[in-house]
């Protein structure tokens, strides 16, 4: 039997921003520029054009907003804005071993103008094989 060493695959950073700037949250061009800026500022490598789409209201809880996504060589960055609630949810998933969450949070706070946030960083693929198994 061959022993398989396991390593961590990557990091998933999740941020919920509260009290964000309503005008930024509803400005598709501004949001697209954020999807260009963040990978560049974080030393990541953009591999697709950013996409920002308007999503209409779905129910009382979801009054609609804009959703954005960009592929990076390391994985992806996405967000969903809720301008009427001053709320944004953000995900950065990377196959890098670490992420500078303090720098990332400060960057997003500056870009979206939120007044408070909840941040989570979760290791992903904690049993990822260090070698091919097939």
Tell me if residue 95 is catalytic. Answer: yes
Tell me if residue 75 is catalytic. Answer: yes
100 contacts 42 by C-beta, under 8 angstroms: yes
Catalytic residue among 12, 33, 78, 95: 95
DSSP bridge pairs for 76: 71, 93
Compute the CA torsion angle 120, 34, 78, 9 (nearest 10 deg). Answer: -60
Tell me if residue 76 is catalytic. Answer: no
Catalytic residue among 75, 76, 78, 116: 75
Cα 127 from Cα 13, distance rounded (Å): 19
Catalytic residue among 67, 80, 101, 117: 80
Query: Which residues form the catalytic set?
Result: 75, 80, 95
């Amino acid at each position: 039997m061959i022993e398989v060493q396991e390593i961590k695959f990557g990091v998933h950073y999740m941020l919920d921003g509260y009290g964000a700037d309503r005008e930024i949250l509803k400005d598709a061009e501004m949001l697209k520029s954020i999807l260009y800026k963040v990978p560049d500022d974080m030393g990541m490598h953009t591999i697709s054009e950013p996409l920002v789409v308007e999503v209409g209201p779905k129910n009382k809880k979801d009054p609609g907003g804009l959703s954005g996504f960009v592929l990076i060589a390391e994985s992806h960055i996405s967000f969903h804005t809720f301008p009427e609630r001053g709320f944004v949810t953000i995900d950065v998933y990377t196959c890098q071993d670490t992420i500078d969450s303090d720098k990332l949070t400060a960057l997003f706070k500056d870009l979206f103008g939120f007044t408070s946030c909840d941040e989570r960083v979760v290791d992903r693929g904690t049993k990822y094989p260090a070698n091919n198994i097939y």
